Chains A and B, each alone.
Chain A
Amino acid sequence: MSLHVDEMTGLAGRTGFLTEAGARRIEAALLPLAALVAGMAVFALFLALLGKSPAEFYALVFKAGFGTAFSWTNTLTRAAPLLLAALCVALPARLGLVIIGGEGAIVLGGVAAGAVAMLMPGLPASVGIALMALAGMAVGGFWIGAVGALRHLRGVNETISSLLMAYIAIALMNHLIEGPLRDPASLNKPSTAPLPEAWRIGEMPGIGVHWGLAFGILACILAFVLIERTTVGFAARIVGGNVRAAEIQGLPAGTLAIGFTALGGAFAGLAGMVEVAAIHGSANASLAAGYGYTGILIAFLARHNGLAIIPAAILFAGIEASSGLVQRRMDLPDATVLVLEGMVFIAILLSDTLQGRIRFLAFLERRLR
């Protein structure tokens, strides 16, 4: 176990009530929250210009996203794949790698899970589910790990290559489910053979949300511990800060890059497996639902912190859960909530540039010196 880097540098700054690292944490939490509010305010202005009531809009978002028991079921079900998709962005991001092609790992992870069920339907359910998860994670890990390897070995820009590989992944999925893996009975919607009934991942007792949510939350906690509380995570953060300095220190920057991209991809692949095992019951083109791209927004909103991904994913899932009611009650187009998400995202990116520049926060930090 090693100390958090801020704690190491900030120990000297302890005063009466707060360490300097503590002040930084407050800033790290306050800035995205303020950006969130700012993004929502700008969007409210847009709505007002369109002659729609922002108050009604946000009341509907609240009601449909968080206002009733059904809303929470809806929101948490939608959050499940987003948690894992966001980790595919957040983990490599701590090494300074911007991966935006998690969608590819999701669809191929789903296809791998569908293939396992199709090729070995005779296995006991527990073994089958475990194998599907492993296959999904292995394929997802390979897919995004390859992006990390291309970056490390050939200097290929990981952002572009991950995006392009997502297109390849979707084409590959279409080829497989319309060709070698197609269930001949799936006439008008090509799919792999349906999972044996016992292989389906059911709902968690009492809350009407499938187990994928638990997987997602567990993965976020694991990612947090790995990054913030282990030597490997510490090494990864050093690489993210300065690759050359890390290499001079003897840290295996390349191995770390490949390992963390592969781990992120494995989580995204697991998301695909959960979609197949909990929702679709077979692998088909509906796997390409865009979760990988929403995951990018969530990871940035959470500043690539595993624990912060949980509330960020729930917030975005809640906004998306409200899309239907907003359409039906306010006669707004379906893209409305996407515009809101986009504005929040831009506000959060902009807020990064304000770090250390807000007078109140700077004052707080100065007092600690």
Chain B
Amino acid sequence: MSKILMPNRRQFLMNSAGLAGAAALSGLLPAGAARAAGLTVGFIYVGPKDDFGYNQSHAEGAAAVKAIEGVTVVEEEQVPETVDVQKTMESMIGFDGATLLFPTSFGYFDPHILAVAPKNPNVRFEHCGGLWTPANPTNVGSYFGYIGMGQYLNGIAAGYATKSKKIGFVAAKPIPQVLLNINSFLLGARAVDPTITCQVIFTGEWSLAVKEAEATNALADQGVDVITCHVDGPKVVMETGAGRGMYLCGYHANQSALAPEKYLTGAEWNWAKVYTDMVKTTLAGGTIENFVRGGLADGFIKMSPLGPAVTPEARTRFEAVQAEIMKGGFAAIKGPLKDNKGNVVATEGQSFVETDVALESMDYLVEGVVGSTS
């Protein structure tokens, strides 16, 4: 400590020299001087990487990439969807020599990746969210997974666990991805018992712990006894729900450690597989496809191991439906189906399989969901 408070002359000179040296070096050498041999991969997260949710799922993918021979991983968390992320990408390219970037938040794509990518044609940008079109730069790619199927399976587990026939969903914003998850969750539960209803509460923000806790408590007060969510970090919902005696279905990552007795299962991203594949392709000199999608069968998503509260009967059904989904072509949204305002969303015989693009502009909640999109 005394070193810091009262440096002697020699230490002072050393530190000053170090500072001056760093300044001189950074001024003289090209920014990529510190570049390591092999491939440097950058991961950028919008929130904390230990959030038990969206960001953690990507950080788990990054951890898998770290284990690959010849790969250096650099990470940065809590990067807002502003000019911050543009500068973080450029900083990873310039200071760390990264040539493959995974800016993982949905809002990083337009305008931020689209602004930085054309200036860095030798860097590959892989964005999670599935927005790439052929009009976008060719060194940009996007990937996403059909996680609605995971929420459908959550619904199967919830359908067997609920006593009150009321299940609940804490949601961030009424956007298509979230609406598909809510609808899938209810339809999974209704495949078990058609009288089940799902109460949804929107918090309005991706990460707002206080409102998430309030919403969970409000659902518990209304008699909801199984809960899931779509917010960035499900930790608050899971802990609050368990505290109120509800069964839990996870989302984004595995939250069973938060309440092992109450945790039924969860819809998880499996970015470890996706990222490992992409990095290995790059190392082998190949090119990652610009538009990549996958579901359960492709290993893009996976289910948390079933918890102790799942009955043998539920387990059998769960595994049967999972096997069905693995075959491909499964549709959770199929007719006859109405939205919760009485409008027909699918006629008799009409079905929307998981890969159907029409699902990506979903703007309704199906019959049986209690709540409103606006």
Residues of A participating in the B interface, judged by any CB pair closer than 8 Å: 41, 44-45, 48-49, 54-55, 58-59, 62-64, 67-68, 70-71, 74, 77-78, 174, 178-179, 187-190, 275, 279-281, 284, 286, 289-290, 321, 324-325, 327-328, 333-335
Residues on A with C-beta less than 8 A from B82 are 275, 279-280, 286, 289
Q: How far is the CA of A328 from the CA of B88 in the complex (A)?
A: 11
Q: Among A59, A174, A187, which residue has its beta carbon within 8 angstroms of that of B204?
A: A174
**B311 within 8 A of partner (CB):** no
> When the two chains form their complex, are residues A45 and B4 in contact, meaning their CB atoms are under 8 A apart?
yes
How far is A64 from B129 in the complex, measured between Cα atoms in Å? 30
CA distance A275 to B19 in the complex (A): 34
What residues of chain B lie closer than 8 Å to A41, measured between beta carbons? 4
Beta-carbon contact of A74 and B129 below 8 Å: no
Report which of B4, B19, B22 forms a contact with A48, defined as CB distance below 8 A. Answer: B4
* Beta-carbon contact of B88 and A324 below 8 Å: yes
The answer to whether A44 and B4 touch (CB under 8 A), given A68-B31, A174-B204, is yes
- CB–CB A70/B19 < 8 A: no
B91 touching A187, Cβ below 8 Å = no
Q: What B residues does A59 contact at CB under 8 A?
A: 18-19, 22
Stretch of B169-177, B332-340, B347-355 contacting A (4+ beta carbons < 8 Å): B169-177
Complex interface: chain A residues within 8 A of B18 (CB):
55, 59
* Given A62-B23, A327-B77: A74 touches B177 (CB 8 Å cut-off): no
Question: Size range of the interface on B?
Answer: 35 or more
Complex Cα distance, B1 from A334, in Å, reads 24
Which residues, 105 to 144 on B, are CB-close (under 8 Å) to A?
106-107, 110-111, 129
Cα–Cα distance between A213 and B31 once the two chains are bound (Å): 24
The CA of A158 and the CA of B232, in the complex, are separated in Å by 35
- Tell me if B3 counts as interface (CB < 8 A to partner A): yes
Contact B83 A279 (CB under 8 A): yes
In angstroms, Cα B84 to Cα A48, docked, is 28
Task: Choose from A64, A74, A190, A289 the contact partner of B173 (Cβ within 8 Å).
Answer: A190
Q: In the complex, what's the smallest C-beta–C-beta distance from B186 to chain A, in angstroms?
A: 20
Q: Looking at the assembled complex, report how far the CB atom of A175 sits from the nearest CB atom of chain B, in whole angstroms.
A: 10
Query: Closest 8 CB pairs between A and B?
Result: A67-B26, A334-B78, A59-B22, A286-B81, A74-B87, A289-B82, A188-B175, A48-B4
14 other A-B residue contacts (CB within 8 Å) besides A63-B95, A78-B83, A286-B81 = A48-B1, A63-B22, A67-B23, A68-B94, A70-B90, A70-B91, A71-B26, A174-B204, A188-B177, A190-B175, A279-B111, A286-B82, A324-B79, A327-B76
- Chain A: minimal CB distance from B192 (Å): 29
> What's the nearest-Cβ distance from chain B to residue A281, in Å?
5
- A-side contacts of B175, CB under 8 Å: 187-190
Q: List 22 A–B pairs whose Cβ atoms lie within 8 Å, in order of A's numbering.
A: A48-B1, A49-B1, A55-B18, A58-B19, A59-B19, A63-B22, A67-B22, A68-B94, A70-B91, A174-B204, A187-B176, A187-B360, A286-B81, A289-B80, A290-B80, A321-B87, A325-B91, A325-B95, A327-B76, A328-B95, A328-B96, A335-B78
Chain B residues in 8 Å Cβ range of A188? 106, 129, 175-177
Q: B37 contacts the other chain (Cβ, under 8 Å)?
A: no
